[in-house]
Chain A
Amino acid sequence: MTSINRRNLLRLGGVAALAGTAGPALVACGGGGSAGDVSNQGKDLAPFPTFVPFQGPEPDMPGDETGVQPLYLHYPQDVQSAGFDTPGDGSEVTISMVTYGTPPGNLESNQLYQAFNEALGVTLKLTLIPAATFTEKMSTMMTGNDFPDIIMFGGGNVVPREQQFIQANCHDLSDFISGDNVKDYPALANIPPYSWQGLGRIGGRLYAIPTERPVFGGCLMVNRSALNDIGVPLDWTKEDYVSAMAELTGNKKYGVGMTGDFNPDFWAGSFGAPNLWQVDGGAFTPTYATDQYREAIQMLAKLFSDGHAYPDGANLPATDMKTQFYNGTINNYRDGWGAMGTYTFNMAKGFTADFGNPFAGGKPWGGQGRYGYVAFKKADDARIKMLLGICNYLASPFGTREFELFNYGVEDAHFTRGDDGAPVQTELWETENKTNIPMTYVASAPLVLYYNGYPDEAERIYEWEKQVAPITQPDPTNGLRSQTWTEKGAELEQAIRDAYGDVIFRGADIAAFDEAVEGWMDRGGRQAAEEFQEEYETAKS
């Protein structure tokens, strides 16, 4: 009878251990290219694309260079074509991109997909990658050495050795879009500088096109009606905030909602902590080591221990905390800038949703100025120009026919026009929409402030932006490369999240957080700081 004795099992274990060490090495090779030098030190830097604002419909209030968005109280009445030629040559174009939506079903009978193909003059072949498995799918795709024409990265995900992969396998776009060259693609020239700078260069060259997002980082979503009821002013101090949270707690209602994986960036910025890194004389130190950051964490811990925060927050997904906000159980929670919109206004029954101002003296943290970006597989110049033309078409500005197609669909099929000329989605949009064919993640126009049916709320958010944008501090590492941070950043940040979670939710002493920060420095934070410092000096030069 075939049997296994102890010796055989040990032998098997030995072979397996060898295989186990080979496994990670193989994954590390994932990227299909050489481990090139992605830093910008000592390289000739390709100039960032020249910013040429697109002259679209006149906004009610203009945007500005600090990052305030143009405000449209109502939908533009005279929607015109952007005037771009059909970019495609009839070929098949493969694209991989993130999706938050459900599968779009059979694309052959999908009117939206067919309209996209017709407008772009190509046959799109889409690989839709669920956000939750984006990193894994991208890793396999990159290792398989068979990637699409247009590859989308980002969306909050960092793929291992992302920049090295791009440098080795993607087309250098510098000659097409750097400096004034970008003027051949007017919609790409309309992407503001902070987006390009946030994306940065790889080895001194431009490899990608960003999908713009406003400069704002984490925001405090507040129930303004409840704050007004107890007389809390728009401009407030941290003391106002703490006492308001106490006053709002009671009758199964709570001041603030914090989930286990929440980000305390709003409060940290409001306490004046630097945005992730403090740059002093060129030297980088982490915000976690600053007194302001520690004080913000201690304040949140006190709110929780005093019962002024939602008690089960640590175990709640972010979406469930939103529900607690919509139904009035909590007064405020932290969310991204984009969480404010018509959906929120619709859901917030019986109260007005608003952004909370940073506390007096605060320095709100900015974001990356982009959602993600696309790079192109290496190809001949003619094809690269066509792919750029496709991105240019997709980035057609708000108020153009092209924008309508990719954001609202086909008129009379996916939307009709309301009395004010604004698109009103039809039932078909429930199954054919931009969430399940998310071409806007490939390239898109800079966002504007327009909330269909909520002009008053839009005006208030515009005022908030006017106040916050000038004092928003960008992350000084935006666009800079650090090999250590690329490799260890996610792990290091998780350790910090665990540490402040222990302080806020589980009553740990702030000394435990300090200890975690020390460990963070030792395990790669210090090395990353040095690398960022070198890159920072190169970028300045």
Chain B
Amino acid sequence: MSSSQRPIWMGKPRLVTRIAKGIALFIVVMLVIFPFWTIVATSIATPEEVVANGGWVVIPETISFAAYTDILRGGVITNALTVSAGITLVGTATSLVATIFLAYALARPNVVGGRPILLLVLFTFLFPPAMIPSFLVVKETGLFDSYAALILPVLINVFNLVVMRGFFQGVPGELIEAARLDGAGDFRILTRIILPLSKAVVAVIGLFYAVSYWNSFFNAIIYLDDTTKWPIQAVLRQYVSQGAALADTSEATMVNSPQSVKMAVVVLATVPIILVYPFIQRFFTKGVLTGAIKS
């Protein structure tokens, strides 16, 4: 096909088009970066400058790390970061294992009880348990005030399970048949055949779980009385929301966190999970789309 016969979208873009695309991309990137930059800039500005600018600073005149020094004093933030890291690591690992096993079982044909179990799982997808029934289960099973209360009630996310099951169903049946003829059992088929072919979906679902555990705060507040066990997001919420919509009328509560301190906590709570994305990004499209579109 000669170049004159090519459809327009296959031709080499003109300079004007390329510039327009560049501008459009720049705007989109700025829309993402600007708010985050403002958070970082505000966190390193002095409280006086923040107030003078109406609460937000884009280019700080004086750079001050006092906000970071303040919040790292006393060990509350570092402890909460450690807790969050632990919950995220252990939670993601156990959730992945549980999801992989269940997805594999539900992906195989003719599993005894497969259909009722699948319906049961989907039931919780459509109608997740309310707060109080969940609380009563946590309380009665002795999980209250333990780290396990942040992991076990949310061990398997049904959306993630459905995606992974779909991915597993896409693995050619001949491969599994061949492995079975060679004497492999289900565990060996899963670990030697299915999982090596499913790295993308495992990586993506792992990221979903990690982000979910990292961001979780509500369960911590409901299930944990011991505030030393609170993850970073629960503590972050206190820093950011304290002083907001105060119902009290005593002077004690009027000592709001300076905006720079709030933003410093946001930075500390966001950066670790952002750092994970680049390592997982290449699996993203493949993992989610492949899993989602299989029957």
Give residues in A with beta carbon < 8 Å to B.
1-4, 8, 12-13, 15-16, 19-20, 23, 26-27, 30, 99-106, 127-133, 136-137, 139-140, 143-144, 146, 155-157, 213-214, 216, 261, 317-320, 322-324, 326-327, 329, 336-339, 341-344, 347, 349, 367, 371, 407, 430-431, 434-435, 438, 440, 444, 447
CA distance A140 to B153 in the complex (A): 16
Q: Does B127 contact A (CB under 8 A)?
A: yes
Cβ contact within 8 Å between A213 and B249 = yes
Known: A100-B243, A133-B222, A323-B55. A447 touches B118 (CB 8 A): no
Q: Are B55 and A318 in contact (CB under 8 A)?
A: no
Closest to A17 in B: B127
Whether B252 and A102, one on each chain, are in contact in the complex, defined by CB atoms closer than 8 angstroms, is: no
Is B182 in the interface zone, CB < 8 Å from A?
no
A513 to chain B, nearest CB (A): 23
Q: Choose among A4, A129, A343, A430 the residue that contacts B254 (Cβ–Cβ < 8 A).
A: A343
- Does B222 contact A1, Cβ atoms closer than 8 Å? no
Chain B residues with CB under 8 A of A216:
249
Q: Is the CB of B222 within 8 A of A136?
A: yes
A140–B73 contact, CB under 8 A? no
CB of B243 within 8 A of CB of A137, answer no
Seed contacts A1-B110, A105-B76, A318-B246; 18 additional CB < 8 Å A-B pairs: A2-B109, A12-B126, A100-B242, A106-B75, A131-B246, A136-B221, A136-B222, A139-B131, A155-B248, A320-B55, A323-B51, A323-B54, A323-B259, A341-B254, A371-B247, A434-B252, A435-B242, A447-B250
Contact: A155 with B247, CB < 8 Å? yes
Q: A4-B119, A319-B256, A347-B51 are in contact. Are A146 and B139 (CB under 8 A)?
A: yes
B118 touches A106 (CB 8 A): no
Query: A12 to B119, Cβ gap below 8 A?
Result: yes
Please judge, given known A-B contacts A15-B123, A27-B130, A140-B135, whether A4 and B118 are in contact too, CB under 8 Å. Answer: yes
Contact of A344 with B245 in the complex, beta carbons under 8 Å = no
Please provide the chain B residues from 53 to 87 with a CB less than 8 Å away from any CB of chain A in the complex.
53-55, 70, 73-76, 79-80
B251 beta carbon closer than 8 Å to chain A:
yes
Determine the residue in chain B with the shortest Cβ distance to A129. B221
Determine how close the nearest CB of chain B comes to the CB of A24; give it in whole angstroms: 8
Distance in angstroms between the alpha carbons of A329 and B218 in the assembled complex: 36
The contact sample of 13 A-B pairs, CB cut-off 8 A, is A2-B111, A4-B122, A20-B127, A99-B238, A136-B222, A139-B131, A139-B132, A317-B244, A317-B245, A318-B246, A327-B53, A327-B54, A430-B74
B126 touches A13 (CB 8 A): yes
Residue ID in chain B nearest A367 by CB atoms: B249
Q: What CA separation (Å) do A103 and B239 show in the bound complex?
A: 10
